Amino acid sequence: INPVIVESRGEAEFTEGCLSIPGLHFEIIRPAEIHVKGYDLDGNELDLELDDFAARVFQHEIDHLEGILMETLLTPEQLAESRAAIRELRALGVGQLPEPEVGIGRLRLP
């Protein structure tokens, strides 16, 4: 809960995709290692040193928590390709979600 990257080291390039933009994959450069702090479901503090794939996944998901999509990290050429693909997906009706039947809420610590 509420993860924060407190330190990052190095750089690594890796092919990344996202369920928010189905079917698209781009080479993304991110820090190779990160130090993350946050809380578990019981409110206990977590202190994690992550590298390789785990570091990449955490960074990607923390970006989502902060309202950042993978597109923000793309080169101008990659961004143009992404936007063209999104236009095609919209024309096909992909990505249009039905209204939720239940409300979406925030998780609160006890």
Task: Find the length of the chain.
Answer: 110
Q: How far is CA 104 from CA 38, 64, 100, 107, in A?
A: 22, 16, 8, 10
Closest CA to 15 of 4, 24, 2, 28: 28
Whole-angstrom distance, CA of residue 74 vs CA of residue 61 = 16
66 flagged as catalytic: no
Q: Catalytic one among 7, 11, 27, 61?
A: 61
Q: Which residues are catalytic?
A: 61
